[in-house]
Structures are given as structure tokens and as C-alpha cells.
Amino acid sequence: MSVGVLALQGSFNEHVAALRRLGVKGVEIRKPEQLQSVSSLIIPGGESTTMAKLAEYHNLFPALREFVKMGKPVWGTCAGLIFLANKAAGQKTGGQELIGGLNCTVHRNFFGSQIQSFEAELQVPEIVVKEGGPPTFRGVFIRAPAILEVGPEVEVLANIPVPSNKTVDPNHALENQEENTGEKVIVAVKQGNLLATAFHPELTADTRWHSYFLKMMGGEAGVGTSAVGEELGLEERRSTDLPIFQ
């Protein structure tokens, strides 16, 4: 089994490493014709505007849209979530090109700038049912987007509290709101062959999301036990000295 990982920019190496821990080969994708050699694809986190410009330069958008339309499993993390959304708000002037296919509206940098990056324990009941392990998943949010609304066919897999006076509105950023407790915003969804997370599972030792995605492509037989907090070598450890979001 091999999985394509879009390797234009961002955390594609970390996704390849996570797949390797599950005994699966990650194939770096940079050109349209390379998509023909894989049956699923991960679009990693990174700088979404830069990734979009590089994808346009390599004429990847038509091939990526066709890949999605063919019903092949695609998982977008952080910037990858923005790419898969049908509609994106909070973009830079001029916006950016999207792949689309995921019936949702996403807000770019919803949680603020780089210095507002954080970690949070997420309730992930669907992942626990399918993959076992602890009842929560430690999400790493880096200049993270959030999903403001979803269509009826979209399954919500995880959400996170936001301040009660924070209107889930694409014209406002969380950093401009007073701290409080209140409503929740969506940070993980599944729609048919599409999976999307606003956070970075590839930056943790917990590979349950990767295992879950592999099973979307019928890979149960080829996937080993999910690495839930397993002891890794120093070269694969990640220091995540970020504040816990409360």
C-alpha cells in the first residue's frame, strides 16, 4: 500500500514518517502525473497561499480536482483543509484557488497568528471507536483554520470551545474577542471520501488519524496497531511547547 503526500511545502515529511510507522509507504507528489501512481492523497499543513501558488505553477489543480471527483480518499490537515473546502473566508486580498469538494465554509487563521498557536485535548469518539486508545486526542493548532458551517452530508468528528461572545463569523478573528467560555467551532470532519482536520496529527506520536484514513481506502489488512504515544527515537520526537487551550 502506498499513499500520496502533496510535497510542495509544509509538513509533508512528518506525514511520510507517520505512515512509515504504520508500515505504509508515503509517495511525495509534486507533479500532476504522479497522482496516477497512488490511490489516496494527504494534503499537509503549511502556508496555504504559498502552497496554492506552487500548485498553480505546477498545473496541479485540475488533476487534484479530478482526483477528488473520482472518489479517491483525500485527507487535508490545516492548510489542506482550506484547499478541500468549497468556500474559504478570511483570505488575503485576491484569495487563493481551492480544490473544493468538501461542503463546508472554512475560516483561514481563525484562531489568530503564529503566536496564538496552541494545543488542546479533543474529544474524538469516532476515532476511539474505530482505532481504540485514549478518549481524547491532543490536537496541535498552528495558525489554524476552523470550520464555520457544514452541509448535511458532512460528519463532524471533533470540535473545540470558543468564547461565548465569539460569533462564528468569517469577518472576525478569535484574537479580537474577550476570553470567555461558550459555543464550539468544528475542527475535524468527514464527507464520503474526504477527511479534514484543522490541527496537525502528523506532529504527534499518535497515529490514530493516519490509521483511520488508511481504513477509508480499505487498508485494514495492511495497517498495524496505531502508535498511541509510543516511544520514538529522538530524531522523530517533536517538542510542542505550546500553551494548552482552555
Catalytic residue among 104, 131, 202, 210: 202
pLDDT on residue 163: 47
- The fraction of the chain above a pLDDT of 70, given in percent, is 78
β 194-197/184-191 pair status: antiparallel
Catalytic residue among 107, 119, 131, 200: 200
Q: Are 95 and 158 in contact (CB under 8 A)?
A: no
Residues 6 or more apart in contact with residue 246 via CB below 8 angstroms:
none
Cross-strand bridge partners of residue 164 = none
Catalytic residue list contains 175: no
Average pLDDT over residues 41-70: 92
Catalytic residue among 15, 78, 107, 131: 78
Instruction: Considering only residues 245 and 117, tell me which one the structure prediction assigns the higher pLDDT.
Output: 117
pLDDT at 238 > cutoff 50: no
Residues 6 or more apart in contact with residue 93 via CB below 8 angstroms:
none
Q: Which domains does the chain have, with CATH numbers?
A: 2-236 (3.40.50.880)
Q: What are phi and psi of 211, to 5 degrees?
A: -65, -40
pLDDT digits (tens, 9 = 90+) for 114-132: 777 889 999 999 999 999 9
What count of Cα atoms within 13 Å lies in the side-chain half-sphere of residue 117? 12
Average pLDDT over residues 121-147: 95
pLDDT at 229 > cutoff 60: no
Residues 6 or more apart in contact with residue 66 via CB below 8 angstroms:
none
Catalytic residue list contains 202: yes
pLDDT on residue 237: 37
Could you tell me the three cell numbers for 13? 515529511
Please state the pTM of the whole predicted model: 0.83
Residues 6 or more apart in contact with residue 214 via CB below 8 angstroms:
1, 3, 22, 24, 40, 220, 222, 223
Catalytic residue list contains 200: yes
pLDDT digits (tens, 9 = 90+) for 78-118: 999 999 999 988 766 556 789 999 999 999 888 877 777 88
Least confident of 1-5, 153-157, 165-169: 165-169
